[in-house]
A and B are shown apart, each in its own frame.
Chain A
Amino acid sequence: MPIAHEYEYLKPTSVAEAVDILSRFENNVRCLAGGTDLIVHLKENVVRPAAVVDIKAIPELSGIKMQGNELRIGALVTFSEIIHSAEIKKHFPVLVEAAETVASVGVRNRATLVGNICSAVPSLDAAPVLLIYDAQVVVRGKNGERSISIHDWFTGPKKTSKAADELVTHVIVNKPLEKHAAAYVKLGRYRGEDLAQAGVAVMLTDNKNYRIATCALGPIAKRAPKVEAALNSHTPSKKTFEDAAKFILSEISPITDIRASKEYREHMAVVMTRRALEAAMARLLGKTVDVASILGG
């Protein structure tokens, strides 16, 4: 299918230049990194920007860096790069786990994590994991750089707190200091690539701290503090998990759409929270868990 829409194509080589272009075109401009959403949307005339800014020639945006406990993921880093990064695998295995559930190999070879969070669709797989790590999104605009907490990033379906003239340069993720384990459980219609019908990420630490986050269970991906409160300082057990998981229902507001009904999403949110906690617990005890099989099918 041809792209019939005509637009200006610009390829800056620095962040400053890119920001300048973004502010010049105001809201009528799109950034191109992996292009796995943008090109499809251009073909289908879903978006009709006056300009497309190709950011792939900006060196500063690429690369994965681990410094101390801090992980920096550049705006051009693809899901495949995340999956194949030895450092991420070692320090943030659940990030790899979530990345592996995104689309298919071909798409992951181009699609970026930053592009994923900029799309801000309710089903994005990158979000729950970034939420449990309290990630920071670093953006740069005309007025310089600022850091936005991932908890403030999503403001609505397909909406973020980034200003139109701001460019995301990277995401920062910090490794918790205490011993911890995590899991990302995704519900899809089959084993092949799918958008999440629901997604739940959990983390638990040695000193009984819990973090829970969801996607595709409401207008935005978010943490579930009521579940966390029900769990925090409790010794992990099947019973604790079962009781606490029910609180997820007061944290989510799923809808019925083509991928699943509200009823099934609610039912599964409880099951997934419980099973994700059990998986993370098993990992904390050093056991291996295959999350792809955790829901059956």
Chain B
Amino acid sequence: MTSKKQDELKYVGKSVSRIDEMDKVSGAARYADDLEFGPNLLFAEIVESTQAHALIKSIDTSAAEKEEGVVRVFTGKDFPGLRFGLYMQDRYVFAQNRVRFVGEQVAAVVARCPKAAKRAAALVKVEYEPLPAVLNQMNALNSDCNLVHEKLGEYSHVPWFFPKAGTNIAHWRKVRKGDISNAFQEADFILEDTYNVPRYAHCAIEPHVATALFDHAGRITVWASSQSPYTQRHLFAECLAPLGITHKDVRVIAPYVGGGFGGKAGVTMEILAVVLATKLKGMPVKVRWSREQEFYNTYQRLGVVAKVKMGVKSDGTIVALDHKIHWDAGAYVEYGANVVNAAGLSASGPYNIPHISIDSMCIYTNLPPGGAYRGFGYSECLFGIESHIDRIARHLKIDPVEMRRKNAIRTGDILPYGSHMNPSGLVECIDKVAAEIEWGKKEMSKDPTKFIGKGFALFWKAPAMPPNASSSAFLKFNEDASMNILVSAMEIGQGFLTAMAQIAAEVLQVPPHKIRVETPDTDRNPYEWQTVASHITWGTGNAVRRAALDAKQQILEQVARVHHYLADDMYLDNEMVKCKQEPAFALPLKNFVITGLAMEDGTYRGGPIIGRGTFMPEFSSALSDPETSQGGHPNVHYTVGAAALTLEVDKETGKMRVLKAVEALDAGKVINPDMAKGQLVGGLLQGLATVLYEDMRYNESGKLLNPNFTDYKIPTCKDVPLEIVPILVEVPQPDGPFGARGIGEHTMLPAAPMIANAVHDAVGVRIVSMPVTAEKVALAILQSEANHTARGAHS
């Protein structure tokens, strides 16, 4: 008998090559902008606000309407009161009588060709009456500050948001654990400081594209570059409900996506194609963002001013944390407010701290809307926390890694909001990283102007999802026992399709390359919440596993009916059904998964095998005490990790080079090691870019100064660290498919503080505002030398 051992995995945990590799390398993969729509296709050009905050006095479209090729010109008046939003409905499809950020959509020209649309859009005259704009979240908190949304109190929102009507505070997440009022008295040392993190852009290589068709039968189809086809369908249906459109009338088709990073989650510009199409029956309307629009009118990562106060015992035990996080959430916070919420719940960092006070405030400003961005608020908070730990450890003359190990959260510890920490390999990650980076071993450069330092950081993140975020899967066999899996999570480069094929392959013992998994059409593929939160390997993976188990059960029952073996005695192996009691029995799946099994009388039993699986984390709840956040179970689990790097700093120029970077994270179970390592390297690079050079810069009128790659820098192959060591730890997640949990976002989380910590280790200056550019480091060194000289002169 050649049956394999029960616990030995054949496809999961193996570096199977991507099932979409030929699509990608041959150019067969089609993206939203590649699709053809025939001669009726219309193109929309958006007229944008030039003001950060203003009343619209008048819009004159007459000249634009006369331009050759123009079909129609639309303004906010054509879509009165139309709002949308994922967690809070505060975003206007077209500005009504007021604009709230530079770049906001004010009008649209729809024409037969893109050139005509662009020409005509330049002819639309908008007259504004400027209002005072608030461009900084701290100013927005002043009692005399203009309100960005006067009707905040009227907006509908999810029950776990707490907007403060009459202020610019769209949501205030408060977390209280232990007794913060007395805790700092127990501390031997208290460090307080403020950390600044600017806004960031996703910079997916493919810009947003959406084409919508409202056909003569009254149904609307949208082709979009999307991370969230089902959530988009739902938001479109909600927004279009006044037109009598229901969910079954809305169909979203999402082809391959050229990068997401959170920017294509929820709904942003896609709504424009949709509403314009409703006015132009029978003609598809396409909206394609330019690179500039990609920067200023999708989502941006929120800016942060974080005040961290941490109290510790002299042995390094953290006793208290008071963390006040002020988020610059922009003009509309329909998605961004949940970043504030999620990060606020976890703003302790991966530490077991008895007394915690966290205030995470979502603040309206007249800057572009903030929203989902890989890391969902955790990078921003970890910059302060992990810098702080380093500074405290050095002050106490304790090894920073030892201090982290001492306070690291462990399985079963009480989380800031009262529930328990899931199984965690955090300490194993710390130890492996410390060993690999040779922590404690000082390295010296041969060049007298260069200094080498090491920086360490821990990280964690939980998926930020509504408690009922669900995934589902259909699995259907073909005649040759190959199969198609239908899911609606998105392949956005991370290798999702392959991971799902591996999970089903393992359950059904069919090779992954006999499994086709494709991007979805909401008419055909079953429900998925969104491809965000690093949850789909876990959530959709569970649904696929259940669909495969469902199919397996059908297979065994079908065979049992005909061959009369007990279903429990049979197993799947090498695309065949086998029986433990009857070694000679080996029935190929292809003999019956479509055709059924033939009986002696010429009739058949069974029929096509179609598996279905769904998954919802039924233990999750977002309800808790608004004053403390105690009482709920808002997060399904955390993925944890540790990272370190060796940094060479030129003391005169401030220029930095990462000589070696090491990152370990606890994936629970790695589905595909090569893809996981690839994602780790990519995410780490993205994180290093946010700390070393990326930075969105606005002028005093709220206009973005660098909506381009000339002055917004993302890494090239020349900027990759000389060495990157990925380490994958596996402490299984009990409710994950084969023990897996997500790792996608986490890979970039430790980058910023470990650079800041390494800079300090190398040259002795502490940078508390991102990005930590060469310029900032050089000027800080000069300043510190000047201070030193001045002190010397006085003494």
Interface residues of A (CB under 8 A from B): 1-4, 45, 104, 187, 189-195, 258-261, 263-264, 267-268, 271, 295-297
In the bound complex, how far is the Cα of B657 from the Cα of A251, in angstroms?
31
Q: Is the CB of A297 within 8 A of B697?
A: no
Q: Is the CB of B716 within 8 A of A190?
A: yes
A–B Cβ pairs within 8 angstroms, 27 of them = A1-B290, A2-B118, A4-B116, A4-B122, A45-B122, A189-B713, A189-B773, A191-B716, A191-B719, A192-B715, A192-B716, A192-B719, A258-B697, A258-B705, A258-B711, A260-B775, A263-B779, A264-B778, A267-B779, A267-B782, A268-B778, A271-B653, A295-B653, A296-B449, A296-B450, A296-B653, A297-B655
In the bound complex, how far is the Cα of B72 from the Cα of A192, in angstroms?
44
For B288, give the chain A residue with the smallest CB separation. A1
Among B637-665, those with CB < 8 Å from A are 648-650, 652-653, 655-657
For A260, give the chain B residue with the smallest CB separation. B775
Q: Is the CB of A261 within 8 A of B114?
A: no
Q: Which residues from A are CB-within-8-Å of B450?
A: 296
Q: Is the CB of B656 within 8 A of A192?
A: no
Q: Is the CB of B775 within 8 A of A297?
A: no
Among B210-248, those with CB < 8 Å from A are none
Q: Is the CB of B719 within 8 A of A2?
A: no
In the complex, which of the residues A3, A45, A193, A297 has the most CB atoms of chain B within 10 Å of its own CB atom? A297
The 8 closest A-B CB pairs, nearest first, are A296-B650, A297-B655, A192-B716, A296-B655, A191-B718, A4-B118, A2-B114, A264-B775
Among B88-126, those with CB < 8 Å from A are 113-116, 118-119, 122
In the bound complex, how far is the Cα of B650 from the Cα of A242, in angstroms?
17
Q: Is the CB of B655 within 8 A of A295?
A: yes
Cβ of B254 under 8 Å from chain A: no
Q: Is the CB of B648 within 8 A of A2?
A: no
Q: Is the CB of B648 within 8 A of A296?
A: yes
Q: Is the CB of A297 within 8 A of B779?
A: no
Count contacts on B: residues with CB < 8 A to the other chain: 36
Q: How far is the CB of B531 from chain A (nearest CB, A)?
A: 28
Q: Is the CB of A3 within 8 A of B715?
A: no
For A261, give the chain B residue with the smallest CB separation. B775
Binary A-proximity of B697-720 (CB < 8 A = 1, otherwise 0)? 100000001100011010110110
Interface residues of B (CB under 8 A from A): 113-116, 118-119, 122, 290, 449-450, 648-650, 652-653, 655-657, 692-693, 697, 705-706, 710-711, 713, 715-716, 718-719, 773-775, 778-779, 782
Q: Is the CB of B657 within 8 A of A296?
A: yes
Q: Which residues from A are CB-within-8-Å of B656?
A: 296-297
Q: Which residues from B are CB-within-8-Å of A297?
A: 650, 653, 655-657, 774
Q: Which residues from B are CB-within-8-Å of A259?
A: 711
For B711, give the chain A residue with the smallest CB separation. A258
In the bound complex, how far is the Cα of B719 from the Cα of A4, in angstroms?
36
Q: Which residues from A are CB-within-8-Å of B715?
A: 190, 192
In the bound complex, how far is the Cα of B497 from the Cα of A85, in angstroms?
47
Q: Which residues from A are CB-within-8-Å of B713?
A: 189-190, 192, 194
Q: How far is the CB of B500 from chain A (nearest CB, A)?
A: 35
Q: Which residues from A are CB-within-8-Å of B657?
A: 296-297
Q: Which residues from B are CB-within-8-Å of A271?
A: 652-653
In the bound complex, how far is the Cα of B719 from the Cα of A267, in angstroms?
24
Q: Which residues from B are CB-within-8-Å of A194?
A: 713
Q: Which residues from B are CB-within-8-Å of A190?
A: 692-693, 713, 715-716, 718-719
In the bound complex, how far is the Cα of B657 from the Cα of A191, in angstroms?
10
Assess A4 versus B652: contact at CB under 8 Å? Given A258-B705, A267-B778.
no
Q: How far is the CB of A266 from chain B (nearest CB, A)?
A: 11
Q: How far is the CB of B753 from chain A (nearest CB, A)?
A: 20
Q: Is the CB of B710 within 8 A of A195?
A: yes
For A296, give the chain B residue with the smallest CB separation. B650
Q: Which residues from B are CB-within-8-Å of A268?
A: 653, 778
Q: Which residues from A are CB-within-8-Å of B705?
A: 258
In the bound complex, how far is the Cα of B122 from the Cα of A258, in angstroms?
27
Q: Which residues from B are CB-within-8-Å of A261?
A: 775, 779
Q: How far is the CB of B520 from chain A (nearest CB, A)?
A: 29
Q: Which residues from B are CB-within-8-Å of A104?
A: 716
In the bound complex, how far is the Cα of B705 from the Cα of A258, in angstroms?
8
